[in-house]
Amino acid sequence: MSRFLTTTVHISAAILTKSRSPVYLSPSFFSPPHFTSTYHRLPKFRRIICIRAVDSSSETKSDGVSSENQEDKVDSKSELDDNGSLKGNVDDYPSGESEFEKPGAWKSFIVKLRMLIAYPWQRVRKGSVLSLKLRGQISDQVKTRFSSGLSLPQICENLIKAAYDPRISGVYIHIETLNCGWGKIEEIRRHILDFRKSGKFIIGYAPLWGEKEYYLGCACEELYAPPSAYFSLNGLTAQAQFLGGVLEKVGVEPQVQRIGKYKSAGDQLTRKNISEENREVLNTLLDNIYGNWVDKISQAKGKKKEEIESFINEGVYQIERLKEDGWITDIKYDDEVISMLKKKLGIAEEKKLPTVDYKKYSRVNRWTVGLSGGKDKIAVIRASGSISRVRGPFSSPSSGIIAEQFIEKIRIVRESKRYKAVIIRIDSPGGDALASDLMWREIRLLAESKPVVASMVDVAASGGYYMAMAAQTILAENLTLTGSIGVVTGKFNLGKLYERIGFNKEVISRGRFAELTAADQRPFRPDEEKLFEESAQNAYKQFRNKAAFSRSMSVDKMEEIAQGRVWSGNDAASRGLVDAIGGFPRAVAIAKHKANIPQERQVSSMLLS
User: In angstroms, rounded to a whole number, what is the distance separating the alpha carbons of residues 168 and 278?
Assistant: 49
HSE-CB for 393 with a 13 A CA cutoff: 1
- Select which of 169, 455, 462, 609 is catalytic: 462
Q: What is the pLDDT of residue 605?
A: 81
Q: What is the pLDDT of residue 101?
A: 84
Higher pLDDT, 11 or 131: 131
To which CATH superfamily is domain 377-486+553-607 assigned?
2-enoyl-CoA Hydratase; Chain A, domain 1 (3.90.226.10)
The pTM for the full model equals: 0.84
CB under 8 Å to 586, separation ≥6 — which residues? 54, 71, 93, 94, 95, 96, 97, 475, 580
Higher pLDDT, 70 or 261: 261
Q: How confident is the model over 113-140, as pLDDT tens digits? A: 888 888 888 899 999 999 999 999 999 9
End-to-end CA distance of the chain: 32
Question: pLDDT above 70 covers what percent of the chain?
Answer: 84
pLDDT classification of 61: cutoffs 50, 70, 90 = very low
Told to judge if 462 belongs to the known catalytic residues of this protein, a careful annotator would answer: yes
User: In angstroms, rounded to a whole number, what is the distance separating the alpha carbons of residues 10 and 12?
Assistant: 6
Q: Where are the alpha helices (DSSP H) in 99-241?
A: 105-116, 152-164, 182-196, 211-217
Q: How confident is the model over 214-241, as pLDDT tens digits? A: 999 999 999 999 999 999 999 999 989 9
What's phi and psi for 179, nearest 5 deg? -115, 75
Q: How confident is the model over 480-524, as pLDDT tens digits? A: 999 999 998 899 999 999 999 999 999 999 999 999 989 999 999
User: Quick one: three-class SS letters along 77-124?
Assistant: CCCECCCCCECCCCCCCCCCCECCCCCCHHHHHHHHHHHHCCCHHHCC
Q: What is the pLDDT of residue 396?
A: 65
Q: Averaged over 43-56, what is the pLDDT?
A: 35
Tell which CATH architecture fits domain 105-234+315-369. Alpha-Beta Complex (3.90)
Give the range among 4-8, 265-269, 284-288, 573-577 with minimum mean pLDDT.
4-8
Told to judge if 263 belongs to the known catalytic residues of this protein, a careful annotator would answer: yes
Q: How confident is the model over 459-468, as pLDDT tens digits? A: 999 999 999 9
HSE-CB for 105 with a 13 A CA cutoff: 0
Q: Average pLDDT of the chain?
A: 84
Q: How confident is the model over 426-464, as pLDDT tens digits? A: 999 999 999 999 999 999 999 999 999 999 999 999 999
Sequence spans of domains, the chain:
105-234+315-369, 377-486+553-607
What's phi and psi for 575, nearest 5 deg? -110, 5
Q: How confident is the model over 390-429, as pLDDT tens digits? A: 887 766 656 699 999 999 999 999 999 999 999 999 999 9
Q: What is the pLDDT of residue 100?
A: 85
Q: What is the pLDDT of residue 333?
A: 97
- Select which of 73, 143, 184, 263 is catalytic: 263
pLDDT classification of 145: cutoffs 50, 70, 90 = confident
Work out the burial of residue 363: count CB atoms within 10 Å of its CB; fewer than 13 is exposed, 13-18 middle, 19 or more buried.
exposed
